[in-house]
Amino acid sequence: MSKKEYCGLFGIYGHPEAARMAYFGLYALQHRGQESAGIVTWDGQGIREQKGMGLVADVFNERHLGRELKGSIAVGHTRYSTTGASLIRNAQPFLVRFGDWQLAIAHNGNLVNTMELRAELEAAGSIFQTTMDSEVFVHLIAKHLNGGTIEEAIQAACKKVQGAYSLIILANDKMIAVRDPHGVRPLCLGRLDDHYVLSSETCAFDLVEAKYLRAVEPGEMLVIDRNGLCSHRISEPKPLKRCIFELVYFARPDSLVFGEEVYCCRKLMGRILANEAPVDADYVMPFPDSGVYAAVGYAQASGLPFEMAMVRNHYVGRTFIQPSQSMRDFSVRVKLNPVHSMIKGKRILIVEDSIVRGTTIRTRIKKLRELGAREIHMRVSCPPIKFPCFYGIDFSSKGELIAANNSVEDIARYIGLDSLHYLSIEGLLESVGADKLDPRYCLACFDGDYVIPPCGEGAKYCLETNALTW
């Protein structure tokens, strides 16, 4: 596995220890990004902030949570960069002051018309401080605040942008959640006693003991203030195109995402894969942790034993989230270690959730060969990834994708496998309760059908070229 994640959002309104609750929420969402983390709070008069590079536990301490981040409203963000470099100036939530308003915005997703909007805004006098597409939202909101309400300004901004976005916005004493009209990225609403809570995934609700209420609907804006909760429809209904990779890989298996239990979906992917591509092997194994649940499903359906022949060092982050190839290669060496007696002379079936570039898996297969594996087969619980993603997954160039220009047989030879089989698109849709006639999920990375047309092959660092030297 060698791809990158995006971001995790968390917000809580009216809680006496809002910053501490946001810290716990981000801790539960750490898997969604390990580059930077930030929390902002409203103390009744102004916004307070703490942001830093690294893991949530490294960015915040007791001084921040107990004394500095005062206030009963908090918004938090944990980030992997899909637009903009991994720098502290690009850490979120992004904070701006405009007239009587103090705004902080946390964004999960990716806009496809960032360059066009940024050029338009700069021509009108806007000065950008970061190379994030998320900052475009802030300038658009500020532009429409003159003479209107904050809700009207946010709605006007959302009408200008194109792409995927789930947002939590702190606007003075209001907390506002917005989800794009296609529902590409998840965002859900919960309640902790008398306090409303927002999160990218329900696993964060479990940690803070909040009750899941419902998903924020695509094209919906939720406004939470001293009067309670109010829902606004900010766009006309559009076809649902939820990111299916949430269920394949990104979300935690103990989360509820898009109304589906992630754990059960992944097991079903494995079961369907076992029916589509059986193999005679001594046992089934995953490369922990990403392929574990599909491997369990495959083992149960096939009757083959399930083994953990590779042991994970839990103090190393997921290789997918590391921001450079050199760091990814280091993680490959450190992250997993084989149980030698389980490898030599064995016919091994590995279940993996996906193959993007193939470099990480190739290194692991080479190690298994060196340890004397007799046969190595691989089954992948999603179809071949052939097309770039422009909506918040960091494989934005077709040249990065091994399946874009290679057959399954060629990929198997490159990686060093005796056989390779991918789950069919029909099988993947069945595992998440959908089918071809009910296209509720975005499959663009498999079939190239982009519901939101991309503006060229946008790249993660597309805004760095003309940026100021900081």
pLDDT by 10s per residue, the chain, length 470? 334 446 999 999 999 999 999 999 999 999 998 889 999 999 999 999 999 999 999 999 999 999 999 999 999 999 875 444 556 777 899 988 888 899 999 999 999 998 999 999 888 878 887 777 888 988 899 888 887 899 999 999 999 999 999 999 999 999 999 999 999 999 999 999 999 999 999 999 999 999 999 999 999 999 999 999 999 999 888 999 999 999 999 999 999 999 999 999 999 999 999 999 999 999 999 998 879 999 999 999 999 999 999 998 877 654 444 545 555 556 666 778 889 999 999 999 999 999 999 988 999 999 999 999 999 999 999 999 999 988 877 665 667 899 999 999 999 999 999 999 999 999 999 999 998 777 899 999 999 999 888 865 444 444 444 443 22
- pLDDT for res 393: 76
pTM over 0.85: yes
- pLDDT for res 145: 87
Give residues with Cβ within 8 angstroms of 121, minimum separation 6: 128, 136, 139, 140, 143
Active site residue 442: no
- pLDDT for res 360: 87
Marked catalytic residue, from 7, 188, 243, 382 = 7
* CA separation, residue 425 to residues 5, 169, 293, 302 (Å): 22, 36, 19, 20
What is the number of other CB atoms lying within 10 angstroms of the CB of residue 409? 11
- For residue 320, the one-letter residue type is F
- Label each residue of the chain as H, E or C: CCCCCCEEEEEEECCCCHHHHHHHHHHHCHHHCCCEEEEEEECCCCEEEEEEECCHHHHCCHHHHHHHCCCCEEEEEEECCCCCCCCHHHCCCEEEEECCEEEEEEEEEEECCHHHHHHHHHHCCCCCCCCCCHHHHHHHHHHCCCCCCHHHHHHHHHHHCCEEEEEEEEECCEEEEEECCCCCCCCEEEEECCEEEEECCCHHHHHHCCEEEEECCCCEEEEEECCEEEEEECCCCCCCCEECHHHHHHCCCCCEECCEEHHHHHHHHHHHHHHHCCCCCCEEEECCCCCHHHHHHHHHHHCCCECCCEEECCCCCCHHHCCCHHHHHHHHHHHEEECHHHCCCCEEEEEECCCCCCHHHHHHHHHHHHCCCCEEEEEECCCCCCCCCCCCCCCCCHHHCHHHCCCHHHHHHHHCCCEEEECCHHHHHHHCCCECCECCEECHHHHCCCCCCCCCCCCCCCCCCCCCCC
- pLDDT for res 49: 95
- Which residues on neighbouring strands pair with residue 94, listed in sequence order? 105
CA 320 to chain centre: 11
- pLDDT for res 289: 82
* Residue ranges of domains in the chain, CATH in brackets: 7-239 (3.60.20.10), 256-447 (3.40.50.2020)
